[in-house]
Amino acid sequence: MAGTAVYGDRRRGSRWMMAYWAGAALLLLATLVAMQFSDEVNWSISDFLFAGLLLGGTGLAFELILRKSPNSAYRTAFGMALAAAFLLIWLNGAVGIIGSEDNDANLMYGGVLAVAAIGSLIARFRPRGMALAMFAAALAMALVAGVAIIAGLGTPESGLGEILFLTGFFAQFMLISAWLFRKAAQGEPERGYVSKFLSLLTMAIGFEMLMFMIIVESEPGAIPLLLILLGAGWFFLARARARAHAH
């Protein structure tokens, strides 16, 4: 039974990875096509190379974890850590968090990634040590934001609300990743646990974006509302599947 569950998890993981690689290829292709019709999209060869290496490295790292670890909580925690690192690098390279992308203050976020990477190596990727590494990365993220706010870095492009929101967004991913690594250290969670947890996280992100949009743009926006609805639907579907499996 346990072997069947692991096999099923790996098949689902394989489908997710196929979707990831397809999405990555479509993203690069869509950018290339958009360049032919709009002057606002102007990527150089180095931009495509950077995006390709970032997308490829992230995908290969997660593929390795899918093959090596049968624990769903560990895989989810590692996936969230990779997602946080990916988005942090991409956002800094595209527009920057502290001021514009050309602001050298954004290089401090490299220290956050270094804390996570070095901590993971010291822990030898064991779940309990990984939990500590991600917690340390979240603290480093908060420290960078504190330095930027106190020193007035990035003004006037980046306001206090923007820096606090983005810091909280990334720190949230890191702290949740740490918590899931801790759960992985305790053993495989019950069936449906990770799906229900991720659905609640999706709703939480939707609510956070909703509040940010209302405060900054004075309107809720469609994407936050869509995330809330998707998260709610996902939660009830995961709950129904868990109950059906229990019976």
For residue range 41-55, what is the model confidence (pLDDT) as tens digits? 788 888 889 889 988
Q: Which residues neighbour 217 within 8 Å (Cβ) at sequence distance 6 or greater?
A: none
Please indicate, yes or no, whether residues 93 and 189 belong to a single structural domain of this protein: yes
Given this model, what pLDDT does residue 62 score?
84
Q: Are residues 61 and 82 in the same domain?
A: no
118 and 213 in a common domain: yes
Q: What is the mean pLDDT of residues 100-117?
A: 90
Report whether pLDDT(15) > 90: no
One domain, residues 103 and 194: yes
Q: Do 51 and 168 fall within a single domain?
A: no
Quick one: pLDDT at residue 130? 94
- Supply the mean pLDDT for the chain: 83
**Rounded CA separation 175/111 (Å):** 17
Q: Read off the pLDDT of residues 193-228 as tens digits, 9 standing for 90 and up.
A: 777 777 888 888 888 777 777 766 677 677 778 888
Residue 82: pLDDT above 50? yes
Nearest to 137 by CA among 88, 90, 97: 88
Q: Return the minimum-mean-pLDDT range out of 34-43, 120-129, 162-171, 173-182.
A: 34-43
Please give the pLDDT value at position 189.
63
Q: Check whether residue 21 and residue 93 sit in a common domain.
A: no
**Top-confidence residue, 237 or 159:** 237
Task: Say if residue 51 is in the same domain as residue 118.
Answer: no
What pLDDT is recorded for position 2?
44
> Do residues 157 and 183 touch, judged by C-beta distance below 8 A?
no
- Domain co-membership, 86 together with 182: yes
Average pLDDT over residues 90-107: 85
Which domain covers residue 19, as residue numbers? 1-68
pLDDT at 120 over 90: yes
CA nearest to 141, candidates 97, 171, 169: 171
How confident is the model at residue 5, as a pLDDT?
46
What is the Cα–Cα distance from 189 to 212, expressed in whole angstroms? 33
* Angle subtended by helix axes 45-68 and 2-35, to nearest 10: 180
Instruction: Work out the angle at residue 116's Cα, subtended by the Cα atoms of residues 27 and 162, and round it to the nearest 5 degrees.
Output: 60
SS3 readout for the chain: CHHHHHHHHHHHHHHHHHHHHHHHHHHHHHHHHHHCCCCCCCCCHHHHHHHHHHHHHHHHHHHHHHHHCCCHHHHHHHHHHHHHHHHHHHHHHHCCCCCCCCCHHHHHHHHHHHHHHHHHHHHCCCHHHHHHHHHHHHHHHHHHHHHHHHHCCCCCCCCHHHHHHHHHHHHHHHHHHHHHHHHHHCCCCCCCHHHHHHHHHHHHHHHHHHHHHHHHHCCCCHHHHHHHHHHHHHHHHHHHHHHHHHC
**Percentage of the chain with pLDDT > 70?**
89
**Residue 188 clears pLDDT 70, i.e. is over it:** no
Going by C-beta distance under 8 Å and a sequence separation of 6 or more, which residues neighbour residue 25?
A: none
- Please indicate, yes or no, whether residues 28 and 109 belong to a single structural domain of this protein: no
Question: Which residue, 22, 39, 68, sits at the end of a domain?
Answer: 68
What is the domain count for the chain?
2
Residue range 162-177, pLDDT digits in tens: 888 888 889 988 998 9
Q: Is the predicted pLDDT of residue 1 greater than 50, yes or no?
A: no
Q: What is the pLDDT of residues 221-247, one digit of tens each?
A: 777 788 888 888 888 887 787 777 666
